[in-house]
Structure 1
Amino acid sequence: MKTFEVKNIHCQNCANTIKNALEDDFGEISVDLSKEPKQVSVNIDDSEVEKFKAEIANLGFEVIKEL
């Protein structure tokens, strides 16, 4: 499981946008709206991290760092 701090996530609708767009490609995604910056967790391999970051950026969200 990898967890990333992500900018521009403001509400449940943002979380749903990420889940709906990316869960088919990356599996179950969890968004923690209680943290600041918000945290997105996904069970991916190291080889998929760059693709995940690119896909989430295409949705308008920016990965700050991996935790």
Structure 2
Amino acid sequence: MKFKVKNVNCINCVNLIKNSLQDEYGPIDIDLENKILNVNLQEEQLENFKNEIQDLGFEIVERI
């Protein structure tokens, strides 16, 4: 699943997301320039993933 994300402004943001969530959700690819996050989620994981991203201080703007 690909998402447009907000507040991902630097490599530290990318590393925070990856280090915090990759163990639970698998590899996460983030295009910092375009603010696109790509992760292989099951539909039932989506709500938890959105909540955990928000807890880290980021926002999923839309699913693309």
> How does the TM-score come out when normalised to structure 1?
0.92
Q: Give structure 1 stretches of 5+ with no counterpart.
A: none
| RMSD after superposition | 0.5
Q: When the two structures are aligned, how many residues end up with a matched partner?
A: 64
The alignment-based identity, stated in percent, is 45
Residue matched to 1:18: 17
Q: Distance in 2 between matches of 1:30 and 1:40?
A: 6
- Residue 60 (1) aligns with residue 57 (2): yes
Q: Distance in 1 between matches of 2:13 and 2:26?
A: 17
> How does the TM-score come out when normalised to structure 2?
0.97
Cα shift at 1:34: 2.1
Q: Distance in 2 between matches of 1:42 and 1:53?
A: 12
Q: Give structure 2 stretches of 5+ with no counterpart.
A: none
Residue matched to 2:7: 8
